[in-house]
Amino acid sequence: MLKTLDSVNTLLRSLVSLAVLTLAGAGAWFGYQFFDEKTAHQQAQARLAEKEVELEKLTVDVHKKAAQISTLENDLAVKTRENQRLAEAVKLLKTDHRIGQISVLSQHGSAAAGDLTTTFEFVEVNDQGQPLEKSRVFTIPGDVVYIDAWVVKFADDYVERGDPLRGTAICLFRRLFGESQAPTHGAVLDPVGTEPTAYRNGGKPSALEQEIWSRFWEYANNSQLARKAGVRAAHGDAPSIKMVVGKQYRVLLRSSDGLTIVPQEPVPDRSKPAL
């Protein structure tokens, strides 16, 4: 009986010891697991904090890049507008206005014999080539004709911005004459003091233009007076061309310059109205 009790006691002690060891092992395992999870959580938090710092830095960089892009876009827009303005200004400076037309009708005699004469038709026109007056026919000795005119050129900044009063040079035709003639013996076109034909297309000359024509030589010789009116230059101009029978020539006035005579190609059909 005693042996049986001893055996039971031994078994109980063994069971208790096993239970204690089991509990201790379980506690250690749970403790390890808790520590490991805490460490892992702390590491995850640290990595998250690092990523947040990196994200904040990237966000700042993105904002900086966006600001730089916006600045560059604004600069590009400003430069684009300036380039467009300059292109338009250059275009206005180089614009040629069609103001006259010469049509050579016939030639008689010869240069060798010294009796060559040329008969031609002259008419003032608008930019589309439409006559502004009844054409006039002239005959000159030789075959070279000069077109004498007064030309007023305005300061480039007025021309560049298309100023309504000073946006283009203005011209008053004076006379036509051949190279062997004295200018004073040429044919009168727009007498001084009259309204230039070119202004009869839809309006009269402005008060400024009337003032300039009435005091033309004062403006030509008084720089202070000219500058006050925005005039860059005022002077006579007399381009010439050797005429060929059957040809037509356009008389052009550049916005920022003087007169030019160029052949018209192809020669239009004279049986039809000028275009």
Express each pLDDT in 115-132 by its tens digit: 999 999 999 988 888 888
pLDDT value of position 111: 87
In a domain, 83, yes or no: yes
Cβ atoms of 103 and 248 closer than 8 Å = yes
Residue corresponding to tokens 């400024």: 208
Would you say residue 271 lies in a domain? no
Same domain, residue pair 78 and 198: no
Q: How far apart are CA 242 and CA 164, in angstroms?
A: 36
Cis peptide leading into residue 273 (ω within 30°)? no
Domain of residue 53 covers 1-93
Q: Which residues of the chain have pLDDT under 70?
A: 1-38, 78-96, 192-204, 266-275
Whole-model pTM over 0.75: no
Instruction: Write down the mean pLDDT value for the chain.
Output: 80
| Residue that finishes a domain, picked among 93, 110, 125 | 93
Radius of gyration for the chain, computed over Cα atoms and rounded to the nearest angstrom: 48
Residues 156 and 249 in one domain: yes
Q: Would you say residue 36 lies in a domain?
A: yes
Closest CA to 103 of 264, 247, 259, 257: 247
| One domain for residues 136 and 243 | yes
Instruction: Summarize pLDDT for 140-167 with one digit per residue, the tens.
Output: 999 999 999 999 999 989 888 888 888 8
